[in-house]
Amino acid sequence: MKNKRDEILVNGIFQSPLAENCPKELSASRAAKVRRFHKTMEGYTLTPLVSLPGLAEHIGIKGIYIKDESFRFGLNAFKSLGATWALARILCKKLGTDVHSVDFSFFRQDKIREKIRHITFATATDGNHGRGVAWSAGQLGCRAEIFMPAGTVPARVANIEKEGARVRVTEVNYDDTVRMAARAAEENGWTMVQDTAWEGYETIPLWILQGYTTMAGEVLEQIREATLPLPTHLFLQAGVGSMAAAVLGYYVNILGEDCPATYILEPDRADCMYKSAMAGDGKPRAVSGALDTMMAGLACGEPNPYAWNILSDFSSGFISCSDGAAALGMRHLAHPEPGDPVIVSGESGAVGPGLAEAVMTVPALHDIRENMGFDRDTVLLCFSTEGDTDPVNYKMITGEY
């Protein structure tokens, strides 16, 4: 009998990109400054961009590239890019220093560390963002307080605690945990470092979002160096939407008319972007409840308003899909076609290639495929944003023991 978790259900809403004015906060010059800073960090290296010709042939498209973020700073996910840039900007502001005039070694100086060691950063997280904040704070000699929603698996808690942070698992969902963390930060004089925004709290989320442009810039560099064709299609998964907006906003600035058709993917139990698009009035919408999806990093019910504006203006559509799409992607990347390398991709990382395989091979998804314009000439770019951050579930889904 087929496991319900393997069932693949997909809904989509499609549009023509609306806006002409590129988001200036994600321009080439600003992204270059962010990447310059990241390059000064110990352990910085380009994460792999992997071409999977076997998978592409299997599903009937021309090519598929996977940006494998499981190698980022040894943290098994990409989120440290946003955390390090945001923390650097926060600290430079407190120190009265221009962030563009320093590199990471600036924060290693004894006199600087003495000034910042009492600073505490707080955040709410499903796992990867909190680990990035905890690791970044530890690298800087600061403290971190991490709040996690109900249902968080022990492995994600343990990984954050290993970075020296204090972790509190709440009894509420992600969005309510964000509010709980914000109240605690205000009461205790901590600095909130959240990757979503709300009224009166917009600057730090933007800095986090800008940090993610390093990942997007690396991809274009790797495509050029390998003389690969540019992608025609781009899949970006969204929780609050910050990663998706960072990548799409950057590519709109850099590629212009050559920007690939971009689709925003969400779990159907936490599809706030899809619901926002369905409303049709340009305003973000929230979804509530338990947000019960194994794609824990995407289990967010309220969009980042700044991210929503970019995605609603520049994307080609929004896709809501069941956990089965992520499970399919996890299994196929773990057990690749002959000649393709193994990619260890977690629940929130594998939904892109899983959805691509589903829309190309499942007859019931023919209309989705047609609306996306997927055919033999398609070259797809996906971001595997995490590795096996829940090892127990990864083994259960992939059979890798």
Question: Where exactly are the structural domains of the chain?
Answer: 4-77+210-398, 80-201
Residue 2 reports pLDDT greater than 70: no
Do 190 and 145 touch, CB atoms closer than 8 A?
Answer: yes
Out of 68, 126, 340, 390, which one is annotated catalytic?
Answer: 126
User: Which one, of 130, 129, 157, 158, lies nearest residue 145 by Cα?
Assistant: 130
Indicate if 80-201 has the same CATH topology as 4-77+210-398: yes
CATH of 4-77+210-398, picked from 3.40.50.2000, 3.40.718.10, 3.30.300.10, 3.40.50.1100, is 3.40.50.1100
Which string of DSSP letters, residue by residue, matches 329-344?
A: HHHHHHSPPTTSPP--
The sign one gets for the Cα dihedral 211, 117, 162, 182 is negative
In whole numbers, what is the pLDDT of the chain averaged over residues?
Answer: 96
Structure tokens at 215: 């990942």
State mean pLDDT over 1-21: 81
User: Which one, of 334, 348, 316, lies nearest residue 398 by Cα?
Assistant: 334
pLDDT tens for 196-246 read 999 999 999 999 999 999 999 999 999 999 999 999 999 999 999 999 999
Which string of DSSP letters, residue by residue, matches 20-59?
A: -S--GGG-HHHHHHHHHHHHTSTT--PPPEEE-HHHHHHH
- Residue 299 burial by Cβ neighbours in a 10 Å radius (0-12, 13-18, 19+): buried
Amino acid 3: pLDDT: 58
| Interior angle at CA 357, CA 153 and CA 275, nearest 5 | 65
Which string of DSSP letters, residue by residue, matches 147-175?
A: EE-TT--HHHHHHHHTTT-EEEE-SS-HH
Amino acid 316: pLDDT: 98
- Residue 83 burial by Cβ neighbours in a 10 Å radius (0-12, 13-18, 19+): buried
Out of 67, 79, 275, 390, which one is annotated catalytic?
Answer: 79
| Interior angle at CA 274, CA 268 and CA 279, nearest 5 | 130
Amino acid 18: pLDDT: 77
What is the Cα–Cα distance from 237 to 353, expressed in whole angstroms?
A: 11
State mean pLDDT over 359-380: 97
Residue 1 reports pLDDT greater than 80: no
State mean pLDDT over 20-47: 96
% of the chain exceeding 90 in pLDDT: 96
What is the Cα–Cα distance from 244 to 249, expressed in whole angstroms?
A: 8
Helix (H, G, I), strand (E, B) or coil at 278: helix
Residue 401 reports pLDDT greater than 60: no
In residues, how long is the chain? 401
Amino acid 5: pLDDT: 66
State mean pLDDT over 57-81: 98
Amino acid 21: pLDDT: 86
Q: How many CB atoms lie within 10 A of CB 96?
A: 6
% of the chain exceeding 70 in pLDDT: 98
pLDDT tens for 271-308 read 999 999 999 999 999 999 999 999 999 999 999 999 99
Do 263 and 314 touch, CB atoms closer than 8 A?
Answer: no
Do 207 and 85 touch, CB atoms closer than 8 A?
Answer: yes
pLDDT bin (cut points 50, 70, 90) of residue 7 is: confident
Q: Look at domain 80-201 and name its CATH class.
A: alpha beta
Amino acid 4: pLDDT: 58
Amino acid 19: pLDDT: 75
Residue 258 designated active-site: no
pLDDT bin (cut points 50, 70, 90) of residue 6 is: confident
Which string of DSSP letters, residue by residue, matches 290-353?
A: ----S-GGG---S--HHHHHHHHHH-SEEEEE-HHHHHHHHHHHHSPPTTSPP----TTTSHHH
Residue 281 designated active-site: no
What is the Cα–Cα distance from 42 to 35, expressed in whole angstroms?
A: 13
The more confidently predicted of residues 401 and 190 is 190
β-partners of residue 120 are 143
User: Which one, of 275, 270, 308, 312, lies nearest residue 292 by Cα?
Assistant: 270
